[in-house]
Amino acid sequence: MNSQPQKSLFGLDAQELTELVEVSGEPSYRGRQLFQALYRERVSSAEQITTLPKDLRATLSEQGFALGLPTIDAKFSSSDGTIRYLIRLQDGETIETVWMPEGDDGESGDGSDADAGPSWRRATICVSSQVGCAVNCQFCLTALLGVKRNLTAGEIAGQVVTVLRERGVPPPLERVNVVFMGMGEPLLNYDNFVKAVRLLVEGVGIPESRMTVSTAGIIPRVYDLGQEPIRPKLAISLTAPNDELRTRLMPINKKWHVEALIAAARAFPLRNREKLTFEYVLLRNVNDSPEQARELAELLRGVRAKVNLIAWNSGPGLEFETPEQRSVETFQEILIAAGIPAFLRKPRGRDIYAACGQLKRTVELRA
């Protein structure tokens, strides 16, 4: 019996699949057929790829290849329609992926299976890029895990396909957004992240304009991302207007200071009508004062950007508190008055630990 781990087809791009079939003595167009079946048709087994000859399917199997898609280990439904998936990878590690639908009336669905159909107007899939996270933001539950490993491109893109299949979402996918804001720091897994973006655009069919990547500020990779021919929009997790406070909240600031981060943001090449996003997690009596709002406005002056304000989502083992609603509103008003677009991000899935900063591979809520 062959005890070798299976090799994944999912995660290979069109060129790699073409080279794979050519080695097996097949014409190059079989690679495109395989690419189409994996990403656009979302087959669940090699036997479903009926465009390929049986002999080729058998050969790939004999060579140890399998689809290699991640699987759903558990799912948790929120009262606001959000679904948190515990996703199991081939080596047994687990990550989390979140589905966030919004209904035709602009409000979220009820979490029932009906949300997979036409009852939702648009939906967002939040995907992970690492098993755990190495950045150690002090206000984030994922930081308590540390980091175990990077995800492959197939494991990153595979989360999207697995959720789309589970929710029964047919193409085209103009109503689906993807945010790389789950577990991990995407720009510390740069090559696999960028390849996953290409697979989602060229294969699955999600426009790059519907994708956003969030980074804690890996400055060299921010510059690299700006040169990519296919890239998502950029969001920078800032959370403090100065080095002293940001270093306390986000230790990565010791390596890449605020001034250098803002310089990278100013240099980032934006498309027509595109804006950078700065994410600011508001922590009660820590970074939510009017003085800090004015300091942030001055820091971002002249940057083509908007600010997403996120009232901190609580979690066990963390020292912070959610700010008062009036403090959040005052902070927003100060930014707007300074000419900076500022929005309050509505929390989704708090009751199932699916909101921003809450992903921790928890299974305690298993139904």
What letter represents residue 349's amino acid? G
Q: Are 98 and 364 in contact (CB under 8 A)?
A: no
Q: Are 37 and 49 in contact (CB under 8 A)?
A: yes
Chain-centroid distance, C-alpha 352: 18
* CA–CA dist 279, 263 (Å, integer): 17
Exposure b/e, 55-84, CB count within 10 A at least 16 = b: ebbebbeeeebbbbbbeebbbbbbebbbbb
C-alpha torsion 43→187→328→342, nearest 10:
-80
Residues 6+ apart with CB under 8 A from 221: 187, 188, 190, 215
Q: Of the listed 19, 22, 96, 133, which one is catalytic?
A: 96
Going 292 to 257 to 194 to 90, the CA torsion angle's sign is: negative
Asked if 291 is an active-site residue, the reply is no
Q: Are 40 and 10 in contact (CB under 8 A)?
A: no
* CA–CA dist 68, 65 (Å, integer): 8
Q: Are 170 and 204 in contact (CB under 8 A)?
A: no
Residues 6+ apart with CB under 8 A from 77: 83, 111, 112, 352, 367
Residues 6+ apart with CB under 8 A from 350: 78, 313, 358
Q: Of the listed 133, 137, 140, 356, which one is catalytic?
A: 356
- Phi/psi region, residue 12 (left: phi>0; alpha: psi -120 to 50; beta: rest), is beta
Asked if 333 is an active-site residue, the reply is no
List the catalytic residues. 96, 356
